[in-house]
Amino acid sequence: MTITSPSYDRALLRPRILHIGFGAFARAHQLVYLDEVLDQTDGDWGVVAARLNSGAAELSELDAADGLYHVVAQDGSGTDTRAVGCVIGTAHPARDGSEALPDLIASAPLSIISLTITEKGYGLTDGAFDPALPANAADIANPDAPRSAVGVILRGLARRRAAGLGGVTVLSCDNLPHNGALCRAAVLGMAKRIDPDLAAWVAQECRFPATMVDRIVPALTNDSRALIAQCAGRDDPNGILCEPFRQWVIEDSFAAGRPAFEKAGALMVSDVAPYEDMKLRMLNGPHSFIAYLGALSGYETVADCMDDPTLRAATRALMLTEQAASIAAPAGVDLTGYADDLIERFSNPALRHKTVQIAMDGSQKLPQRLLAGASVLAKRGAEWPLITAGVAGWMGFVRKAVLNPDFAPLQDPLADQIRAAASLPDGPEFVAAMVALPGVFPADTSLRATLASPIARTYADLVEKGPQGLLKPLLGAT
């Protein structure tokens, strides 16, 4: 059993980064990069790991372990275990009080607030700050006791400004297109409604770089926890299992310095957009396609789906004939090779990445993962039958989850509206109600109608013939 442990002096670390959303992904991605940077450069880039909602007990367990936790990377050929040491403290409002995170943001050493708060955590609709969403409305009405991530950040920034300190970098690491700009829109959108002077200060002093983040990190299960215990030599509730592959592309625009992320292999660039588009459409779109059509086929994991010849071929065809055609590849990237590597990564037998996990929050994922590519193809007069099959799969999945809770839980911020749609007769009425959900299909009415037009027929095919019966003829046609 070999464990790579921090080689740097942990006593030198100070609270320079606040990570909000210390879930599965951050543990295996941003914090591993930072750990490797520290191994090479020493420095004082310590992290305070925070969560806003659940998970206070796990954070206390992390404190009890002196901030050390384990990341196990595994594929068919073996495991690699790392003890990560960059966490120097934890914060949770329910445990430490509502000023705990703003206190940190307003402290002099703090330079970066990094985020993995899921797509829904930004409080956006159609890519814009939505003041009507309940969490946003509550924080606008009561900015001194915020509950949303954006409200907490603003409360901290307001105190930072009052203390005469400079701005910080807010580093979104969520799977959103142009995540830096969207994060900025969310923070400024709320700031303008709370205090226009604060909004002007944030716009001037803070930076919101875009990032493309990639590493497949399934939620911890009893099985992965047992494997981590075996590899780490102790039970570790904050440990995580992931694939060996990782990628991070970061817009090099920081307000108050940054770790030398490039030393751990991150690509620092001036324009992240081509990488974001490639990853969201080639990886995440097919991931959602597999999640919905795979779950409806009775498959528990992504790797199980890749063992099914029809789903495997359909996923690759979706990548190469539709999604790849909708993007401009980053310089030097061969999209066929990228697609083949993705199919290999999806086939990793060790991860047991659940289709039902990826299926959650579909209303927040479909726009950038599937409908964005369809929009490009539609404007060009090309066809998008596999994307349509994925969208029909989403509708079939959520309907089945509403009507049969033993099949899968319905987890989505629009769950109430989805339940209302699923109470309609199965067929065109249900499909039309799903298309009309806020923020999923494009706001442009003509484009929305074009994208929606093939879906009722494809959905009917899915209901009548099942995923295999729907996909096989599409493969013949592509």
* Binding-site ranges for ligand NAI (CB under 6 A): 21-26, 51-55, 116-121, 149, 174-175, 213, 215-217, 219
Contacted by 287, from ligand CS2, ligand NAI, none: CB < 5 to 8 Å by type:
ligand CS2
Task: Specify the residue, 127 or 385, whose C-beta has the smaller distance to ligand NAI.
Answer: 127
**Which string of b and e fits 248-264 if b means at least 16 CB within 10 Å?**
bbbbeebbbebbebeeb
Q: Which helix (H) or strand (E) holds 267?
A: strand 267-269
Q: Minimum distance between the CB of residue 113 and ligand NAI, rounded to whole angstroms? A: 12
Stretch that binds ligand CS2, among 105-113, 147-155, 178-186, 282-290 (CB under 6 A): 282-290
Q: Which residues of 89-109 are buried (b: 16+ CB within 10 A; e: fewer)?
A: bbbbbeebeebbbbbbbbbee
Which of 214/276 has CB closer to ligand CS2?
214
Minimum distance from CB of 117 to ligand NAI (Å)?
4
Q: Is 79 helix (H, G, I), strand (E, B) or coil?
A: strand
**Angle (deg, nearest 10), helices 385-403 and 285-296:** 50
Select 139 or 214, whichever has its Cβ closest to ligand CS2: 214
- In the bound state with ligand CS2, the residue whose beta carbon lies nearer, of 221 and 423, is 221
**Secondary structure (3-state) at 174:** coil
* Between 43 and 330, CB nearer to ligand NAI: 330
Q: What phi-psi label fits residue 55: left (phi over 0), alpha (psi between -120 and 50 degrees) or beta?
A: left
Q: Which does 43 bind (CB under 5 to 8 A by kind): ligand CS2, ligand NAI, none?
A: none
Take residue 429 and report the two structure tokens written for it: 């009425």
Binding flag, residue 297, ligand CS2 (CB under 6 A): no
23 binds, among ligand CS2, ligand NAI, none (CB under 5 to 8 A by kind): ligand NAI
> For ligand NAI, which is the closer residue by CB, 173 or 431?
173
Binder among 118, 284, 310, 368 for ligand CS2 (CB under 6 A): 284
Q: In the stretch 158-197, what mask flags binding to ligand CS2 with x, by CB under 6 A?
A: -----------------x----------------------
Distance of closest approach, residue 171 Cβ to ligand NAI, in angstroms: 12
Strand ordering across the sheet containing 247-251: 211-214, 247-251, 267-269
Describe the chain by its helix, strand, coil percentages, rounded to 5. Answer: 55, 15, 35
Q: Within positions 204 to 243, which residues make up the interface with ligand CS2, using CB under 6 A?
A: 214-216
> Which CA distances in Å does 274 have to 251, 286, 418?
12, 18, 33
Query: Which residue number has the CB closest to ligand NAI?
Result: 23
Cβ-based nearer residue to ligand NAI, 74 or 310? 74
Q: How far is CA 54 from its chain centroid?
A: 17
Residues 346-385 that bind ligand CS2 (CB under 6 A): 357-358, 365
Q: Which partner from the list ligand CS2, ligand NAI, none does 453 bind, CB cut-off 5 to 8 Å by kind?
A: none
Residue 358: which of ligand NAI, ligand CS2, none does it interact with, CB under 5 to 8 A by kind?
A: ligand CS2
Determine the 3-state secondary structure of 318 from DSSP.
helix
Question: Residue with the closest Cβ to ligand CS2?
Answer: 287
* Cβ pair 21, 118 in contact under 8 A: yes
Q: Among residues 56 and 475, whose Cβ is nearest to ligand NAI?
A: 56
Report the nearest approach of ligand CS2 to the CB of residue 345 (Å): 9
Minimal distance, residue 303 CB to ligand CS2, in Å: 13
Phi-psi region of 347 (alpha: psi -120 to 50; beta: other; left: phi over 0): alpha
Nearer of residues 319 and 456 to ligand CS2, judged by Cβ: 319
Q: How far is the CB of 219 from ligand NAI (least distance, A)?
A: 6
Q: How far is the CB of 358 from ligand CS2 (least distance, A)?
A: 4
Dihedral sign, Cα of residue 424, residue 425, residue 426, residue 431: negative
CA 251-322-370 angle, 5° bins:
60
- Residues 323, 329: Cα–Cα separation, whole Å: 11
Beta-carbon contacts of 410 under 8 Å, excluding residues fewer than 6 positions away, are: 398, 401, 402, 418, 419
In the DSSP assignment, the letter for residue 263 is G
Q: Which two tokens stand for residue 174?
A: 């969520």
Rounded least distance, CB 142 to ligand NAI, Å: 17
Q: Is 51 left (phi over 0), alpha (psi -120 to 50) or beta?
A: beta
Q: Which is nearer to ligand CS2, 92 or 279 (CB)?
A: 279
Rank residues 216 and 471 by Cβ distance to ligand CS2 and give the closer one.
Answer: 216
Sort strands 14-20 and 112-115 into parallel, antiparallel or unpaired. parallel
Contact residues for ligand CS2, defined by CB under 6 A: 175, 214-216, 283-284, 287, 357-358, 365
